[in-house]
A and B are shown apart, each in its own frame.
Chain A
């Protein structure tokens, strides 16, 4: 059977580092990039006698995320210990949630070529991150840095509802957008603050029984996620085609070779011996707290995108870019309060503004001009006070200096000449000097019209209002 006769089945486990100041169970900083073990204390070092105390923001973020993903929030969720030995796991167990996680039964809607598709969320739970082991330290040693031990994570587990690599990528992007919108995660795949494992299996098309699945790790970009899943699907089909059986295992995406390879487990079969964490009472979330969190929930990326197309009449393409990040969408809406041609506004956003932001590496929050000033500039362009081209220069200047558009136009002499008398004088002068060209025009060589426009604009150093120049020329040439 060819690959096309198989149906891939994919589920994703997302690990999102929560944007808290302090760790999940102690007051150490979650800051990235410190000297090894600089951000550690007896609690996250797993010293004798220490006890965990939950950072309440972790619970708040979990509830917020659960609500955004349409989950049921458990009024009482339970902490468990997952027991295993590893040098970067200081206590010899990870504090996590097991059979009673804080959120369950949610969904996230994604776009597929066949239309919208809801991917079910099985569960969301809170847990602590482990530290980091460096194996190539030399001297036959591995080095252990526990700065990351105890950083709060949300694990978001989907149902195996994804059917190909593209859907998986779409899901992961949509998930990232939601988490970033909620302000709970920075969405950074490269630095590992937003990570993903993929469970992949294949079954003959039409079958209802899932095949044996493999867990793929080290998928730290959307591209790797797609490549790894596609590779893995092909590999599993190969195994089955050649009469073999897919073995349930964890496989690592090898970036350099572009293959997944088995992480041969050197240790014995895992037995995590989960049991309820006696040091932490169950977490209670009141109905009032859930209500309050639901009310405070921001508009989510998908809803915002739909509103941008309906409320502002924007094409889906524009709306998608404008709503990709919450600050940009917010800024667009602020500007829309001052300028009503939304499509034109969108063009300026997608063109000049985003180019400037990118080139100058400026965050939106550091913009020096107000939405009202941008509206003012676009109004000036519409009214012919300044040409569209000159308007771009004005925007650049506003971007760099924060000066008012009117001041920039005046200072730089960018104001467009829209005085009919002044333009008429120039038009008359040019026509007087080019009698031969007038003959050609009147003989039917209409392209000469462009020549006259060019001559007038040159004489006016580009400041003539193009609409008026055209209008007057046509009148004088007897059209």
Chain B
């Protein structure tokens, strides 16, 4: 299927990618080509087929409800681009 420029922009917004106009054009072409290629799946009858979302269906591994030491905040925040005391900081969110 061919994607429109509008669709590419919408998807970029959902994905939080601020694409350049040149990228928008390029992705419109390239993603359309990929979507054309995957179009072949439509020819298969999968009505009665169960989807596979996990490669192996092992019994689920669970944890006991016990606390384990957390990271000290200085480690939690060591890689933060911006922080204030022990909080992560971002430009003010306008409600």
Is chain B in direct contact with chain A in the complex (CB below 8 A)? yes
Partner pick for A141 among B59, B67, B76, B90, CB 8 A cutoff: B90
Interface centre among B64, B85, B87 (most CB of A within 10 A): B87
B92 near A283 with CB under 8 A, answer: no
| A139 neighbours in B (Cβ, 8 Å) | 84
A54 close to chain B: CB less than 8 A: yes
Considering only CB atoms, which chain A residue lies closest to B77 in the complex? Answer: A37
Interface footprint category on B: 35 or more
Contact A266 B65 (CB under 8 A): no
- Which listed residue (B53, B65, B84, B91) contacts A56, Cβ 8 A? B65
Contact pick for A45, options B53, B68, B76, CB 8 Å: B76
Task: Judge if A27 is at the interface, Cβ distance under 8 Å.
Answer: yes
Alpha-carbon distance A57/B63, docked complex (angstroms): 8
Whether B85 contacts A36 by the Cβ 8 Å rule is yes
**A1 vs chain B, min Cβ distance (A):** 35
By a CB distance below 8 angstroms, the chain B residues around A280 are: 60
A21 and B16 contacting across the interface, CB-CB below 8 Å: no
Interface status of B73 (Cβ within 8 A of chain A): yes
Q: Mask for B57-95, Cβ within 8 A of A = 1, else 0?
A: 111111111111111010011000010111111111111
- Asked if A135 and B95 sit within 8 Å, CB to CB, the answer is yes
Residues of A within 8 A of B77 (CB): 37
- Interface residue range, chain A: 35 or more
State A87–B49 Cα separation when bound (angstroms). 39
Interface presence of A188 (CB below 8 A):
no
Q: Which of A104-146 contact B (CB under 8 A)?
A: 133-135, 137, 139-146
Binary CB contact string for chain A from 7 to 29 against chain B (1 if under 8 A, 0 otherwise): 00000000000001110001111
* SS class, residues of chain A in contact with chain B: loop
User: Shortest CB–CB separation between residue B84 and chain A, in angstroms?
Assistant: 6
A281 close to B63 (CB less than 8 A): no
Of all chain A residues, the one with the shortest Cβ separation from B61 is: A53
Q: Please judge, given known A-B contacts A21-B67, A54-B62, whether A278 and B88 are in contact too, CB under 8 Å.
A: no
For chain A residues 134-164, which have a beta carbon within 8 Å of chain B? 134-135, 137, 139-146
Chain B residues near A268 (CB-CB < 8 A): 10, 13-14
Chain B residues packing against A (C-beta within 8 Å): 10, 13-14, 16, 53-54, 57-71, 73, 76-77, 82, 84-95
Give 8 new A-B contacts, CB below 8 A, not counting A45-B71, A280-B60: A22-B67, A40-B71, A55-B63, A56-B65, A85-B16, A141-B89, A144-B90, A146-B88
Task: Pick 10 A–B contacts, CB within 8 A, sort by A.
Answer: A28-B67, A36-B87, A38-B70, A40-B70, A42-B71, A55-B62, A85-B16, A141-B91, A145-B87, A276-B54
